[in-house]
Amino acid sequence: MAAGGAGTTRSNFILARGSKSMQSGPREIVTAFRPIPLDVPEGMKPNEFFNSAENLKDLVHNNGLLQNPEGLVLYRKALGHSNEFDASIIYNTSQSILDPLGRPVRRTQLPQPVKNVWNRMNQIIVGYMLERYPDPEQTLLLAGEASLDATWPLTSPGVPSIRMLHNHFIAFNKAELRAAPIADANNPNLTDGGQHSLFQAHMRDAYRAFFEELDLQILRPCEAGSCRIALTGYPQGLPSWEIAGGAAALGEVRFWNEYDTILMGFIDFYRTFFSQVSTRNAPLPHDICFPALVANKLQFNNDFLKTAKMVRDRCITDAKYANAIRWQPAFKQLIYRNDAGKLIVTISQNSIGNAITEVLGVVVNRSPAAEAYARTEPALIAQLLEVRRRLVEADLGDGIATPYWGAR
Written as one string, the DSSP assignment of 72-140 is EEEEE-TT-S-SSEEEEEEE--TTT---GGGS--SGGGS-HHHHHHHHHHHHHHHHHHHHH---TTTEE
Whole-Å CA distances, 147 to 31, 66, 155, 334 = 24, 23, 18, 11
Predicted confidence band of residue 8 (pLDDT cuts 50, 70, 90):
very low
Predicted confidence band of residue 268 (pLDDT cuts 50, 70, 90):
very high
pLDDT score of 10:
40
pLDDT score of 13:
39
pLDDT score of 353:
59
Residue 405 lies in a domain: no
Does the structure show a pLDDT above 90 at 88?
yes
Task: Name which residue leads in pLDDT, 285 or 155.
Answer: 285
pLDDT score of 245:
95
Does the structure show a pLDDT above 70 at 225?
yes
In 195-252, alpha helices (H): 198-212
Residues in the chain: 408
Does the structure show a pLDDT above 50 at 7?
no
Rg (CA), the chain: 21
How many domains, in total, are found in the chain? 1
pLDDT score of 151:
53
At 76, give phi and psi (nearest 5°): -75, 140
Per-residue pLDDT averaged across 116-144, rounded?
98
Q: Containing domain of residue 386, as a range?
A: 20-399
CA distance 236 to 85: 25
Predicted confidence band of residue 17 (pLDDT cuts 50, 70, 90):
very low
Q: What is the mean pLDDT of the chain?
A: 88
Strand, coil or helix: 401: coil
pLDDT score of 322:
86
Residue 113 lies in a domain: yes
Contact 363, 187 (CB under 8 A): yes
Give the number of other CB atoms < 10 A from CB of residue 181. 12
Whole-Å CA distances, 289 to 161, 265, 335 = 28, 7, 23
Please give the helix or strand (H or E) that residue 53 lies within, else none: helix 53-63
Per-residue pLDDT averaged across 8-21, rounded?
41
Spatial CA neighbour of 204 closest among 307, 299, 335, 334? 307
In 279-356, alpha helices (H): 291-297, 302-317, 319-324
Residue 407 lies in a domain: no
Residue 132 lies in a domain: yes
Does the structure show a pLDDT above 90 at 274?
yes
pLDDT in tens, 232-260: 999 988 899 999 999 999 999 999 999 99
Quote the DSSP letter at residue 157: T
Task: Name which residue leads in pLDDT, 36 or 299.
Answer: 299
Does the structure show a pLDDT above 60 at 89?
yes
Share of the chain above pLDDT 70, in %: 88
CA distance 375 to 26: 26
Residue 140 lies in a domain: yes
CA distance 248 to 217: 15
Of 97-101, 192-196, 382-386, which range is least confident?
192-196
pLDDT score of 329:
85
Please state whether beta strands 398-399 and 64-67 pair in parallel, antiparallel, or not at all (unpaired): antiparallel
pLDDT score of 125:
98
Contact 365, 30 (CB under 8 A): yes
pLDDT score of 198:
82
Give the number of other CB atoms < 10 A from CB of residue 155. 9
pLDDT score of 2:
34
Residue 93 lies in a domain: yes
Per-residue pLDDT averaged across 295-318, rounded?
95
Per-residue pLDDT averaged across 368-380, rounded?
95
CA distance 326 to 202: 17
pLDDT in tens, 18-64: 434 578 999 999 999 998 877 888 888 776 777 788 888 888 999 99
Per-residue pLDDT averaged across 346-367, rounded?
85
Of 59-63, 115-119, 128-132, which range is least confident?
59-63
Predicted confidence band of residue 279 (pLDDT cuts 50, 70, 90):
very high
Residue 223 lies in a domain: yes
Contacts of residue 323, Cβ cutoff 8 Å, sequence gap at least 6: none
Residue 9 lies in a domain: no
b/e sequence 207-236, b meaning 16+ C-beta within 10 Å: beebbeebebebbeebeeeebbbebbbbbb
Does the structure show a pLDDT above 60 at 352?
no
